[in-house]
Amino acid sequence: MKSIPNARPWFPKKMREEIIQDIDYVMSSGKLMLGKFSDLIEEQYSNITSTKYSVSVTSATAGLQIALKYINIAGGEVLVPAASFITDVSSIQMEGGIPVLVDINPDTLTFDLEDLNKKVTKRTRAIIWVHLTGYIGKEYQRIQSFAKDHGLFLIEDAAHAHGAKIDGNVAGSLGDVGIFSFYPTKVVTAGTGGILTTNDLALASFARDIRLFGTNQNTGEVFLQGSDWFLDEFRSSVGYRQTRYLFENLNRRREIAQIYLERLEGSVEFKCLDIAKANFPSWFQFPVFCHPEINADSLRRTLINKGVECKQIYPPIHKEQLFRSLSHEGLENSEQTLEQSICLPMYVDLTNLEVDIVVERLFEARDQQ
């Protein structure tokens, strides 16, 4: 039985041919960093997000660290979802900040606003706001207002959310800074890498300096403690071509998501995200959430045995060995939502027939519980 993968990067023949030509150009030019393709991909992301500045970096984690360095977070607290990826917390700690875990709203995968309000203190300096699975929660305006009212720096972790939008507002433009990832599994991939988007000229200039060992780009003087966080021309060229095809990529993902939503409509055992008319996720992942009486871990294993690769979104941050010291009461929504989640296969080359097979085997796995 042929297995259906959970995710797969999309490199159609025409794109591959273009990438090969671009890489040949890079090698012939002799300029392997901060050249033509670095400029092109940064221009693309400013256009996509309607932000003034974009800065390419080695990873989304580097982007998070740069944003936190910019506000000198050392000693300050950062509000971050318990339902997020480990680097949202580790980047805070690496910059000397204090992560404060906030529970989520299980219906929208974004902050539980009541818990967010409880967690803010005089030491709070910033918020890392995650668009989990590529979905922007309908509370986005309330989160923006909360940050503004409390004078907090708002960092969008848009690693999952390339091209996602709500009410015409695009991920990467909703906070003080947006951070995207080009990790192998992401909607846009360059093998690795990331990009930072902002309307803050001072932040953009800081990012450009610190990504090159803290070197002032005007004077050549090293004046910041930086690192080699620039994205090389090879990866920039791959990311550039991937981004040229972004909307074709998103259109197919949204078609697949719609089929899943239709097939699962009315299911008692499996809940899907409620997608409002003006909400367009990027569908980095397609999550379903099992009824509490279902053993989701067992169901995931059964589904894998049936040839359908699947996973939970992430373990809750405070369940990871490294971050267990951050565990506290009041994170139950994050725990249950993530533990009961199943990410079904989602990638551009997934066929409609394969989607039907996935859903059929999902229900078969449920019946074997």
- Identify which of 119, 111, 160, 118 has the alpha carbon closest to the alpha carbon of residue 140: 111
The confidence score (pLDDT) of residue 134 equals: 98
The confidence score (pLDDT) of residue 349 equals: 98
| Amino acid identity for residue 272 in this structure | C
* Maximum alpha-carbon separation in the chain: 67
In angstroms, rounded to a whole number, what is the distance separating the alpha carbons of residues 119 and 160? 25
Q: Which domains does the chain have, with CATH numbers?
A: 13-244 (3.40.640.10), 246-367 (3.90.1150.10)
Q: How does DSSP assign 56-98, residue by residue?
A: EESBHHHHHHHHHHHTT-TT-EEEEESSS-HHHHHHHHHTT-E
Q: Which helix (H) or strand (E) holds 120?
A: none
C-alpha distance from residue 66 to each of 34, 179, 227, 342 (Å): 18, 10, 10, 32
The length of the chain is 369
C-alpha distance from residue 332 to each of 82, 97, 194, 352 (Å): 10, 24, 31, 36
The contacts of residue 366 (CB under 8 Å, 6+ apart) are 269, 270, 294, 299
The confidence score (pLDDT) of residue 280 equals: 98
| Amino acid identity for residue 111 in this structure | F
Are the C-beta atoms of 156 and 175 separated by less than 8 Å?
yes
In angstroms, rounded to a whole number, what is the distance separating the alpha carbons of residues 161 and 163? 6
Please report, in tens digits, the pLDDT of each residue of the chain (369 residues total): 689 999 999 999 999 999 999 999 999 999 999 999 999 999 999 999 999 999 999 999 999 999 999 999 999 999 999 999 999 999 999 999 999 999 999 999 999 999 999 999 999 999 999 999 999 999 999 999 999 999 999 999 999 999 999 999 999 999 999 999 999 999 999 999 999 999 999 999 999 999 999 999 999 999 999 999 999 999 999 999 999 999 999 999 999 999 999 999 999 999 999 999 999 999 999 999 999 999 999 999 999 999 999 999 999 999 999 999 999 999 999 999 999 999 999 999 999 999 999 999 999 999 998
C-alpha distance from residue 209 to each of 71, 172, 202, 272, 288 (Å): 15, 21, 11, 43, 42
The confidence score (pLDDT) of residue 144 equals: 98
Q: How does DSSP assign 189-206, residue by residue?
A: -SSSBEEEEES-HHHHHH
Q: Which helix (H) or strand (E) holds 288?
A: strand 286-290
Q: How does DSSP assign 329-354, residue by residue?
A: TT-HHHHHHHHTEEEE---TT--HHH
> First CA to last CA across the chain, in angstroms?
22
Per the listing, tokens 């967690």 go with 119
The confidence score (pLDDT) of residue 1 equals: 62
- Identify which of 171, 5, 160 has the alpha carbon closest to the alpha carbon of residue 84: 160
